[in-house]
Amino acid sequence: MASYWPRLAGIAIGLGIAVMILALAGNRWRRLPSSGPVLSEHEGRLRELVIHYEPSAREIVLTPYRDFLGQLDKDITVDVVVPSRTAFDELVTGVGAVKCRLRPIIVDHAMSTWSRDRWLALAPVPGNDAITLWSPQGEMLAESWPERAGDERVSFDLARALGPTVRAERSSLYFDGGDFLADNRNVFVMPRVLKRNLQISVKDRAELLERFSSALKRNVILLDEAPDHHAGMFMASIGNNVMLVGDPSLGRQYFPESKAEGEALLPDGADFTPETQHLYDAVAAQSEASGYRVVRMPVVPAYDGRTFLTYVNSIIDSRDDKQIVYLPFYRGADRLNSAAKKVWEELGYTVRLVDCTSTYRYFGALHCLVNVLRRI
């Protein structure tokens, strides 16, 4: 029996070493990031998009969806989040023939029609092709608003439907996806995000910036002053260190001079006050201080602070050395539409127009309706 003890001791030592190696390896793998940086708004070719279709919002979204989906190229997949198969069939019939692939994601619960605010897409890490959908701790008013309660579930619905190529993760922070503007260097964050989290999920501004920087893996810039809305309503990073920033003073030049025509577009009236102009100028100044060349774009905000005739609320695609922008336009605002289109064209973009007349009165446009899941 004694002759076996050296062998048993050797086995025990070997097992112990193996356990230590596995433990170290486990720690090493746990330290690896589970996701890459947040997707840029302009960099790369569109590959997969997500939209929502809720039949009660048909009159709001069907026209922009018809224009947008009808111009997408055939190599793009659009995941359509719907409460039922009937809703998906209704959308397919309503938009007509398209080249892109429409794929239903049936969730069987209440939901809103706005996709952008539900999550941020984080790129895969090397060796793994899984996109991470990073969603907020909760949706505002979810306790009393069934559609918002349903929206809290959408990122996980997508992960379940799309399998190992998509995973969902819930943050402990509060935000809307539209509160961020990301490019390949920086992420701009709206001032109101600090208000939503201060002394609730973070103790101070520095902690909020560190938490976002760690999750998004980009330099994070918290805007000091900005209009109280989502970033895509008044600014867009378009590559080559160029930032488009809305300018009400330019919008005023092209807004209808007729009172009746102006009220038809914005019943509450256009807000060209110095106080509002200051907020847009502050965004432009902070963008310049962050190293961007700022190009000003006509915008007309309403006095309600929520309705915008905006031309930066767009979707950018880069393919075959061609820059494409899917650009909102508004019936009855011809001079504004033409002026904005010219700005994009002078920046080298091919413009594909999308009629958002039915949408802007509900406080959003194209960028608010479409979330980008994957670029290549």
Q: Where are the domains of the chain?
A: 34-375
Low-confidence stretches of the chain (pLDDT beneath 70): 1-33
Task: Measure the CA–CA gap between 234 and 302, rounded to whole angstroms.
Answer: 13
39: DSSP letter: P
Strand 242-247 relative to strand 293-298, pairing: parallel
319: DSSP letter: E
Largest CA distance in the chain: 106
pTM over 0.85? The answer is yes
Cα angle value 207/212/217 (rounded, 5°): 130
Task: Measure the CA–CA gap between 159 and 92, rounded to whole angstroms.
Answer: 23
Q: What's the pLDDT score for residue 128?
A: 87
What confidence tens digit (pLDDT) does each residue in 244-295 have? 999 999 999 999 999 999 999 999 999 999 999 999 999 999 999 999 999 9
Give the homologous superfamily in CATH for domain 34-375: L-arginine/glycine Amidinotransferase; Chain A (3.75.10.10)
Q: What's the pLDDT score for residue 286?
A: 98
Task: Measure the CA–CA gap between 267 and 157, rounded to whole angstroms.
Answer: 38
Q: What's the pLDDT score for residue 174?
A: 98
Task: Measure the CA–CA gap between 281 and 366, rounded to whole angstroms.
Answer: 24
Task: Measure the CA–CA gap between 99 and 345, rounded to whole angstroms.
Answer: 25
Measured in degrees and rounded to the nearest 5, phi and psi for residue 266 equal -135, 90
221 forms beta bridges with 188
Q: What's the pLDDT score for residue 145?
A: 94
What confidence tens digit (pLDDT) does each residue in 163-180 have? 999 999 999 999 999 999
What confidence tens digit (pLDDT) does each residue in 201-229 have? 999 999 999 999 999 999 999 999 999 99
